[in-house]
């Protein structure tokens, strides 16, 4: 016998990307995992103050936790930003646990 849990509809909300200050870059990163722990991947995008994509990346992580996947997404983005001279940089993530 299965149970059906009631779902509460969520009100839609407007989400907008905000450009960084002039001469700054912005790293937006995220992760995905199938379970916790589970198969996971991470990635991100770095844009300049005009909103132009300067760099995008993704990485398959194998089996790991969602926290490790989120941290890896940020770490890899910062590594790539340094290598490509994309600084100063501001980081924006969805998971408050990594801040």
CATH topology for 25-94 is Nucleotidyltransferase; domain 5 (3.30.420)
| pLDDT tens digit sequence for 13-47 | 777 889 999 999 999 999 999 999 999 999 999 99
Which residue has 């801040």 as its token pair? Answer: 99
Chain centroid to CA 42: how far?
A: 7
Compute the chain's Rg from CA coordinates. Answer: 16
- Please tell me the predicted confidence (pLDDT) of residue 1: 54
CA distance 85 to 28: 17
Domain boundaries, the chain: 25-94
């Amino acid at each position: 016998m299965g149970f059906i849990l009631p779902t509460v509809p969520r009100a839609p909300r407007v989400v907008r990307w905000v450009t960084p200050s002039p001469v700054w870059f912005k790293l937006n990163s995220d992760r995905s995992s199938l379970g916790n722990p589970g198969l996971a991947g991470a990635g991100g995008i770095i844009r300049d103050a005009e909103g132009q994509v300067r760099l995008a990346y993704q990485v398959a992580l194998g089996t790991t936790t969602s926290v490790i996947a989120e941290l890896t997404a940020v770490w890899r983005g910062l590594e790539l930003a340094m290598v490509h001279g994309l600084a100063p940089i501001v980081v924006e993530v969805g998971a408050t646990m990594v801040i």
